Structures are given as structure tokens and as C-alpha cells.
Amino acid sequence: MKVVRYADRPDLMERRFAELVVPAFPAYMNENEPGNLYWGRLYTDFPDFQVALVDGDELLAEAHAIPLPWDGTLEDLPSGWDEGFVRGATSDAPHTALMAIAISVSPAHKGRQLSSRMIQTFTDAARAADLANGVIAPVRPTWKERYPLIPIERYMEWRRADGAHFDPWLRIHERVGGEIVRAAPRSMVVRAPAVEWAEWTGMAFPEDGEYVFPGALATLVVEDGIGTHVEPNVWVLHRV
């Protein structure tokens, strides 16, 4: 297995969405505004931070990130994924940190600790680029979808009896040195007509109201036929 830049393996680009993204994330997560505006620039402007893990021609996992200005304080943390992506893509200030955007692992290779290895690519890349304030990750907790009505501020505090984090993905981040630093209750906003939400989720939304839907970490609020979903995340810091 080896880590390669997508810039050096453009042949993988045609495969990555179907093999890694579709199995890993609900369809609606590909419809957020910053992603639609700036995703292509990750490969043209920040190629060193867009990598894949391969074994020969087999695509095992990938990691995407964007450098951004961050002064190292909680006060200067972006509000979440959306604001961090926009800051990295548009700010003229010197980059001092790296924001993790996404990690995806092939379903056929889950359970091999590949996600831990991809987290390591973030810290390695930040160190190589002299981004001294480290890696900030707006983490999407795996099991939060089971508890969409619980505020993220409470969920992020849940621990098992052995002291390890209740959530498997947050537990992995802590295991490789990450520190939970703050909740991001309004990390990503997706807004679209209810008919589009029906296509993405396989559910009908026959009237205005608040809905729980599969795979979501929080609810969908439909008002005047427009559905708004505000996804919560948890900020995790990996020092370099």
C-alpha cells in the first residue's frame, strides 16, 4: 500500500466518486454550497493535500484537506465545515493550519485501520507544509445519526465506562492523538426544495415541519416547501 497524490494519479479521479464517496456519505452531503463552489480548486490550487491510498490499481481510501489561516485559538476556529472551506479557498492571509475536509474508505477494506492511516496523512502534510498550528478536523461522528435529537454539545461528552469516547469515529481520532476542542453545531448547511430532499433520502415530505431522516445527524426543517438541514460536527485538533 502507498499514499499517492491525485495530481500524480489522475486516472483515479474517474473512479473515486463511485468507489469511495457514494458508499461513505449520504447523497445530500454532496449538495452543500461551498463544496459545489470550490471542490475543483482542491486539485488545482492545493494538490499536495488531496491523496489516495492504493494497493497497485486498487483504490482503498482517500483524504482531502485545505490549508487555511487559523491563529490557534478557539475564538478563531471556523463555525464549521462550510466556513472553514470558504476561508481556505478565499482568504489572502497566510496559511497556518490544515483543515480536514473528508476521509473515505472503500467498504471492502473497512476494519483495516485505514482511516487512522488517512488521518496521519493530514498531520504529515501539515508538517511538511510548515502549517504549525496543526490539523483541525470538523468530525462527523459515526453514531450521531442514531441520536439526531440529541444536541451535539451533549453527544460529544458521552464516554464509555473505560473512558474511551462513545462514538467510534471520535474514538479513532483520540486514539491517534486528536483532542476534542469544541462543538460545531452549525457546521454544514444544505438547503434545497423538498422534492430534491425526497430524491436524496427516499422519503416523502408532504407538509412543512421537522423531520428525522436516515443517515442524518440532525433533523430536516421544511418551510414553504424548502428543506434546510444543519449538520453538527465536532472540532478535533491534531497537533504537529
Q: What cell numbers appear for 227 in the block?
A: 428543506
Closest CA to 46 of 143, 144, 126: 126
The pLDDT, as a whole number, for residue 110 is 87
pLDDT at 117 over 90: yes
Q: What is the pLDDT of residues 51-105, one digit of tens each?
A: 999 999 899 999 999 999 999 999 999 999 999 999 999 999 999 999 999 999 9
Show the CA angle centred on residue 234, arms to residues 228 and 235, nearest 5°: 120
The pLDDT, as a whole number, for residue 173 is 98
Show the CA angle centred on residue 127, arms to residues 24 and 87, nearest 5°: 60
